[in-house]
Chain A
Amino acid sequence: MSTAPASPAPAVGQGDSSEEHHRPTLGDAGRKLLAGEMGSLRVLIVLAIIWAIFAIANDRFLTAINLTNLALQIAAVGTISVGVVLVLLLGEIDLSVGAVSGLASAVVAVLNVKNGWNPYLAIVAGLLVGTAIGLFQGSMSTRLAIPSFVVTLAGLLMWQGAQLKVLGETGTVNVSDPAITNIAGTFLAPWVGWAVAILAIAAIVGTALLNLQRRRAAGLEAESMLGLTLRSGAATIAILAAVVVMNSDRGVPLALVILVGICAAVQFMLAKTRFGRHIYAVGGDAEAARRAGIRVTWLRTTVFMMASTLAAAGGIIAASRLLAVNQSSGGSDLLLLAIAGPVVAGVSLFGGRGTAWAALLGALVIGSISNGMDLLALQSSVKFMVTGAVLLAAVSLDALARQRRVSAGGT
């Protein structure tokens, strides 16, 4: 990968002659794909294979009604996964996200149903419970230099206990307030779905073209028109196809729009703001980041707060979909799936690599496997083993990609 020092490669900064600069070619793209640097494309291929397998195995898998169900199923875990992505980017882990989502949903349900709180106030209270937990766990981990693995493992137990306490003796609270149930129960009218899709496409194509134009104006090497067309085109087709399919059933679920919106907002923060750049820096080399003047402790704590808040949001979406909160809300395999998703979609466990979109794509992969195996009426035993195998395969790819990078950088 690395260029030989003596090779007459085009020099950096040869003034205005942008033709001299290295342009990405299709060959490069292939190599990058193999090296795991294009995690999104890799996961899309994996997703296509999974969908093809289930479509062949069961003709109900690729129907509008099932795909809309799939979208609803992944909304909660996908939202939790966005927070997990942030924590993983730091090279940390948060094992408490499942328990936090359960506790937050319990708080919302109890405040609204038993204490008669305004539903919106109850939701805000639930989110704040998440934020406070993140502040607590983040501070413990950073100030006392305890590995986040241990702090959040302790948190997992504590918040599960707190959830049982909050729910009280009944153990189950049914949620009926429309303000809460509408989060997952709302489907956009067809024309609203189209309007949202067109806005999203306009935003994608618009920013891509604007960026291209600004880079050209500045005399910098710009992405080739082909690559730009391919990327924007793929996103456009995916959005249009999703809207066509879901509109032929009940419409685009609001919960999916919320998940995509959260992914887009977090990705904007990661890619465009200094805070996001510093998250990657701390995940890459915390000591280098500290010496560059980044407040590492503050940043880590803030990220843990974001992750716990997103976990709480995911819990509220789950409560909205299931119309109830009970003692097992946020338990079971939710935590593992919320972490497996981003890792499957190319977020490195070693920190510093990945995007917020991995939360959506990973939830799609994991959700598709689960959904498809449910359609085939497979037992839980098989489901767990298959999901575990997919996760292990994904982590192996990550480790292999890392080894390749290390050996490439070593010479």
Chain B
Amino acid sequence: MSTTTQAGAATAPAPVAPLLRLRGLTKSFGAVQALRGADLDVGAGEVVALVGDNGAGKSTLIKAITGVQPADGGTIEMDGVPVSIKAPSDSAALGISAVYQDLALCDNLDVVANLFLGQEAHRGKVMDEIAMEKESRRLLDRLAVRTLRSVRTEVGSLSGGQRQTVAIARSMLGDPKLVILDEPTAALGVSQTAQVLELVKTLRGEGIGVIIISHNLADVFQVADRIVVLRLGGNAGEWTAEPENRQAVVGAITGADIENGQEATP
């Protein structure tokens, strides 16, 4: 299993502004400070893994980006332009979409109906099934999905990996610039995990920025370009996804002090 290393993208910051730049994000829930000035950069066509122990602030950071729970302080830039994200509609308008762990699919509807749920194509009062089915085909083709027999299959009869694929495909409908995947491989078997990771690489190939949250370091090292570790609401370091950095990442997650771990931190 050879890990693709994209050292150039990670170590030398590109001269142009990154797709997404977070600086000094803070968020408090009452007396609990969930984010204490977290930073994050994601470039176009870059897969950034966000790792950390439970309560490290990963979910809070994601909710700040998607506008589900806006941050209290700090700055967010998209393509170098400062933006304000106060609601999910703000992040959607900026081209940010997220796939949450529970996928939010309707098992009794087919793939097409799920992809377009809430935004069905229609002519007058009547849904345009043909337009939706063609667009679904085009989308799944573009994502190189080869595992679905028919886009008219009920989602409830699909495997976990296929369901994850449908959820990711749905997040791609509005042609987003940035896709956030929350634990996309949790509860998946080996081959299905491989399918989903392959899909993540396809997104990268499309020039989309990807933030992937995962507890599974094997997956993270396989697919990510850069690994950002959060700890206690702040940054605990940043590494390229080279196998020899694994110990350092584990150390940063757990808080154990490892001397030579910080070499890749900019």
Using a CB–CB cutoff of 8 Å, the interface residues on chain A facing chain B are 1-3, 5-6, 9-15, 21-22, 214-215, 218-221, 272-274, 277-278, 280-281, 283-285, 287-289, 291-294, 351-353, 405-406, 408-409, 411
Q: Is the CB of A13 within 8 A of B140?
A: yes
Would B146 and A11 count as touching, CB distance under 8 A? yes
Min distance, Cβ B77 to any Cβ of chain A, angstroms: 27
Query: Does A3 contact B147, Cβ atoms closer than 8 Å?
Result: yes
Give chain B's interface residue range (CB within 8 Å of chain A): 35 or more
Known: A5-B161, A218-B130, A285-B105. A293 touches B145 (CB 8 A): no
Residue of B118, B134, B145, B158 contacting most chain A CB atoms (<10 Å) = B118
If the complex has contacts A21-B150, A274-B122, are A409 and B106 also in contact, measured as CB distance less than 8 A?
no
New A-B contacts (15) at CB < 8 Å, excluding given A13-B138, A285-B106: A5-B159, A5-B191, A11-B141, A11-B147, A12-B149, A13-B137, A13-B151, A284-B109, A285-B107, A288-B106, A289-B117, A351-B108, A352-B106, A353-B108, A405-B157
Question: A166: shortest Cβ distance to chain B, in Å?
Answer: 37
Say whether B120 faces chain A, with CB atoms less than 8 Å apart: yes
Known interface pairs A12-B149, A292-B117. Does A284 touch B134 (Cβ–Cβ under 8 Å)? Answer: no
> Footprint of A on B, CB under 8 Å?
103-109, 113, 117-120, 122, 125-127, 130, 133-134, 136-141, 145-152, 154, 156-159, 161-162, 191-192, 195
Residue on A nearest B130 in the bound complex, by CB: A218
Report A-chain residues with C-beta under 8 Å of the C-beta of B161.
5
* Interface residue from A15, A214, A409 paired with B156 (Cβ < 8 Å): A409
Which B residues touch A283, using CB under 8 A?
108
CB contacts (< 8 Å) of A278 on chain B: these are 118
Whole-angstrom CA separation of A272 from B120 in the bound complex: 11
* Known contacts A3-B147, A22-B149, A272-B127; is-contact A409 B107 (Cβ 8 Å): yes
- In the complex, chain B residues whose CB is within 8 Å of the CB of A284: 106-109
List of A residues within 8 angstroms of B108 by Cβ? 280, 283-285, 351-353
Q: Which of A220, A287, A292, A352 contacts B134 (CB 8 A)?
A: A220
Decide if A287 touches B195 in the complex (CB within 8 Å).
no
What CA separation (Å) do A281 and B105 show in the bound complex? 9
- CB pair B118–A293 under 8 Å, yes or no, is yes
Min CB gap B250→A, angstroms = 30
Assess whether B130 is in contact with A11, with CB atoms less than 8 Å apart.
no
Contact B191–A12 (Cβ < 8 Å): no
Residues of B within 8 A of A281 (CB): 106, 109, 113, 117
B118 with A280: CB separation less than 8 A: no
Interface pairs A-B: 4 shortest CB-CB: A292-B118, A13-B137, A284-B106, A13-B141
Cβ-closest chain B residue relative to A287: B104
**Residue ID in chain B nearest A215 by CB atoms:** B130
A6 touches B130 (CB 8 A): no
Contact across chains for A11 and B192 when beta carbons are under 8 A apart: no
Taken together as a complex, chains A and B put the C-alpha atoms of A308 and B156 apart, in Å, by: 31
User: How far is A22 from B162 in the complex, measured between Cα atoms in Å?
Assistant: 17
9 sampled A-B residue pairs with Cβ under 8 A: A5-B161, A5-B162, A6-B191, A13-B136, A14-B141, A22-B149, A220-B134, A272-B127, A284-B108
- A5→B192 contact, CB < 8 A: yes
Contact check, A2 vs B158: say whether CB atoms are below 8 A apart: yes
Q: Which of A215, A274, A289, A408 contacts B120 (CB 8 A)?
A: A274
